[in-house]
Amino acid sequence: MNKETLKKNLREIPDFPIPGILFYDVTTLFKNAECLQGMIDDLYEIYKDKGITKVVGIESRGFILGGALAARLGAGFVMARKPGKLPAEVIEETYAKEYGTDTIQIHKDSITEDDVVLLHDDLLATGGTMAAVYRLVQKCGAKKAYVNFVIELKGLNGRNAFTSDVDITTLLQL
């Protein structure tokens, strides 16, 4: 997918959710059929030969492309969710945010040592949530884990939340 097409279809909302923040609204990419199909096609091309057996989507926008990509790759789909949203036994990771902490969970039986996992979310900002999910997947003993985002906000240095050996790809850097 042409990066300019993605940029052209990405909505920017100034002062959301608080003054001084420029919010990148990816819902405009999802509602545009050309963008949606193009993103799925691009992600498939990146990961089709990696042996992916599970895709982990992070609540909630990571569910959209994560689920579609899992189906296209012939892989299973795992949801990473906030506490209290998953019905079976979970494992969790608590991580620091700008103002306090947050927690993310996956089902305890969702990833095994036989899995090659792709972790997907819409946006890499500071990297805290994805780094926590990455640690959960490591706790489960996955053979390999890849990390992907639609958009990376380069000025926030989100890649610094990961060690240098983590394979991170993005479709668009802003």
Hey, which residues are catalytic here? 61, 98
Q: Tokens 């990390």 correspond to what residue?
A: 147
Smallest CA-to-CA distance from 139 within 101, 107, 161, 162 is with 107
What DSSP line would sit under 31-80, residue for residue?
HSHHHHHHHHHHHHHHHTTTT--EEEEETTTHHHHHHHHHHHHT-EEEEE
The bridge status of strand 100-107 relative to strand 116-124 is unpaired
Rounded distance between C-alpha atoms, residue 162 and residue 130, angstroms: 9
Rounded distance between C-alpha atoms, residue 129 and residue 59, angstroms: 10
SS3 3: helix
